[in-house]
Amino acid sequence: MAPFTNILACGLAFAATAAAVNPIVVQEQEFIDSKTNDRFVVIGIDYQPGGQAAVGTGAGDPLSNGTLCLRDAALMQNLGVNTIRSYNLNPTLNHDECASIFNSAGIYMILDVNSPLAGGSIDRSDPSSSYTTDYLTSVFQRIEAFKSYPNTLGFFAGNEIINDVPTGQANPPYIRAVQRDMKNYIAANADRQIPVGYSAADVRSVLEDTWAYLQCDNSANGGDTMSNSDFFGLNSYSWCGGDATFETSGYNDLVSIFSNTTIPVFFSEYGCNQVRPRVFDEVQALYGPKMTVMSGGLLFEWTEEGDDFGLVQTYANGSLQLTTDFENLSDQYAMLDVSSLTSVNDTATSLQAPQCDSSLISGDGFSNDFDIPSPPDGAESLISAGISNPPTGSIISVTQTSVGLAVYATDGGEISGLKINPVQNGNAPGQNTGSVSTGSPGATQTGTSTSGGGDSNSDGSSNDGSGSSTSTASGSSSSATESGAAFRIDGRTAGGAVAAAAIGVVAFAL
């Protein structure tokens, strides 16, 4: 842990300024910081407290409660997270406080524009009937709500719409159509380019064709230069347990599949839970030298929703307790070589997407039709003029940086000194751990949990921990223990002795 005097000096340096991260741009197969030109690798968490069960209840938007966002952002910053993904968002709510808190903590947002509510996504069983002006209006509302935040990294146009060979026939052209409409809307109504991509199921029978179809250059087909994906997310749960390897998990196959990618590819979900607790050995593989094609990943998921994926357990009174998974992930993040991750691959700057052609598609039954559907009636005027009464968003000053809600370590000891440390660049493991201490161990917290009845994504697809990969769990037992761990600082355990060394907590207003 860094000396407290050093932490104090850093805090004072940021006290008088409102920090803002630099927007991220796409440069061939990599994400790049638009100001520093450093490579940006996603070190992230899927963030949807309450799960789909909360959607439509008034509590389903994870980015509209500043008190809870402050609590979670402080923990994520200490952990080393630089990106979150949120699936279900209500564009009519105000997101300024949460977006500003995550921005101040150096954490970017990748956001889904779809909803599990009726008419809120492309219906994979009948895409043409669901591709309507009303649907696009709801998509554009979410773009309007988040376009002005510098830490909006990108938007997902769809999630697991293609999940088997039959759905690979009619749906691909409509995914490209939605991406085109989103990118055209951003170009006409936002002050910067914001990347738009797709989150795919790890179904190996359609995975390579899905990526090839979405990344190719379709400009020769009627001058279509906007329907391609800017990035490609993959929901993959193929690495299971401590005995898994690069080969048994199928990670080597991913390197082969994406070896010629011209857009960033990353895990939009990962973290198999068939072996509990999770030890997250895949973190070292994902960010290691053998994984030459991936730009990081988003671990599923932040809160426990009744399906054993949560890094934290939340309660109705706003308190929170860390799980053993949180501790194990903290240990893995602490071993990452962050400096090597930010080095730009010079060979990536010369990559160009292949022209869209039926020869790119290898699977029988997968669409090789690159005649993208025209926008529905009225959509082009929405794109050019903007939607009526659009929601707005802007970064505001974060005046409260210390967490006021109770947060407990896995052993029941209350964590004190938890706050966000304002930064000017993206967060990273080991860079913003702060002065945090854990009190004496206590009983496991009890009370009403806020866990939902299982998770599913914005299009209704579910997460079962195994994903759709051809790889299977090893069945090995985890090497971690279920109890006895305390909150980690720089990958080390902080027990009651740390509290004696902490000389207080200083909260800094921006």
Q: Tell me the per-residue pLDDT of 353-405, one tens digit each, with 9 for 90 and over.
A: 999 999 999 999 999 999 999 999 999 999 999 999 999 999 999 999 999 99
Mean pLDDT of 324-328: 98
Residues serving a catalytic function are: 160, 269
Mean pLDDT of 174-203: 98
- Whether 485 has a pLDDT exceeding 90, the answer reads no
Q: How far apart (Å, rounded) are the C-alpha atoms in residues 272 and 237?
A: 5
pLDDT tier for residue 348 given thresholds of 50, 70 and 90: low
Q: How far apart (Å, rounded) are the C-alpha atoms in residues 47 and 377?
A: 35
- Whether 220 has a pLDDT exceeding 50, the answer reads yes
- Whether the CB-CB separation of 281 and 271 falls below 8 Å is answered with no
Mean pLDDT of 292-306: 96
**Residue 69 pairs with which residues in a beta bridge?**
none
- Whether 2 has a pLDDT exceeding 60, the answer reads no
Mean pLDDT of 493-500: 32
CATH topology of domain 4-501: TIM Barrel (3.20.20)
pTM of structure:
0.86
Q: How far apart (Å, rounded) are the C-alpha atoms in residues 16 and 399?
A: 11
- Whether 450 has a pLDDT exceeding 80, the answer reads no
Mean pLDDT of 214-241: 97
- Whether 503 has a pLDDT exceeding 50, the answer reads no
- Whether the CB-CB separation of 242 and 479 falls below 8 Å is answered with yes
Q: How far apart (Å, rounded) are the C-alpha atoms in residues 83 and 427?
A: 9
User: What is the predicted pLDDT for the residue at 232?
Assistant: 98
User: What is the predicted pLDDT for the residue at 342?
Assistant: 87
- Whether 509 has a pLDDT exceeding 90, the answer reads no
In this structure, the number of other CB atoms found within 10 A of the CB of residue 385 comes to 10
> Using one digit for the tens of pLDDT, what is the confidence trace for 241-296?
999 999 999 999 999 999 999 999 999 999 999 999 999 999 999 999 999 999 99
- Whether 54 has a pLDDT exceeding 60, the answer reads yes
pLDDT tier for residue 449 given thresholds of 50, 70 and 90: low
Mean pLDDT of 79-102: 97
Q: How far apart (Å, rounded) are the C-alpha atoms in residues 327 and 309?
A: 14
* Percent of all residues in the chain with a pLDDT value above 70, rounded to a whole number: 79
φ, ψ dihedrals at 330, nearest 5°: -60, -40
Q: How far apart (Å, rounded) are the C-alpha atoms in residues 99 and 91?
A: 13
Mean pLDDT of 476-494: 35
* Percent of all residues in the chain with a pLDDT value above 90, rounded to a whole number: 75
Which residue has better confidence, 221 or 470? 221
Q: Give the chain's mean pLDDT.
A: 85
Alpha helices in 287-395 (DSSP H): 324-334, 338-341, 379-385
- Reduce the secondary structure of 387-433 to three states and give it as a string: CCCCCCCCCCCCCCCECCCCEECCCCCEEECCECCCCCCCCCCCCCC
Which residue has better confidence, 366 or 489? 366
Q: How far apart (Å, rounded) are the C-alpha atoms in residues 409 and 389?
A: 45
Mean pLDDT of 299-308: 95
Mean pLDDT of 454-473: 45
- Whether 456 has a pLDDT exceeding 80, the answer reads no
User: What is the predicted pLDDT for the residue at 452?
Assistant: 55
pLDDT tier for residue 350 given thresholds of 50, 70 and 90: confident
User: What is the predicted pLDDT for the residue at 351?
Assistant: 85
